[in-house]
Amino acid sequence: MGERLKVFGIVTLLGFMAGIIADLTATHVIPWLMTILPAFLSARYLLSGLAGAFLTLVLVSVWAYITGPSEP
């Protein structure tokens, strides 16, 4: 039971951090990217998709690093 609660706690913490990163991305990074990228790349859905892909990559990498390899 303790391991399950630890996993839930880690997932909750990662979700909280993802929410903070998503908010900062939406308010600062996406408007900045929209000013520097060409018009065909400034579609908000495309930039949101790129931000989501990056966040997912970071979160999965952090999760894999925290959990480490499972030994039998």
Q: Which of the four pLDDT bands, split at 50, 70 and 90, describes residue 1?
A: low
The answer to whether the CB of 47 falls within 8 A of the CB of 30 is yes
- How far apart (Å, rounded) are the C-alpha atoms in residues 8 and 2? 10
pLDDT of residue 42: 56
Q: What would the pLDDT profile of 3-60 be if each residue is shown by its tens digit?
A: 778 877 887 888 788 888 878 877 887 777 777 766 655 567 777 777 788 888 888 8
The answer to whether the CB of 55 falls within 8 A of the CB of 7 is no
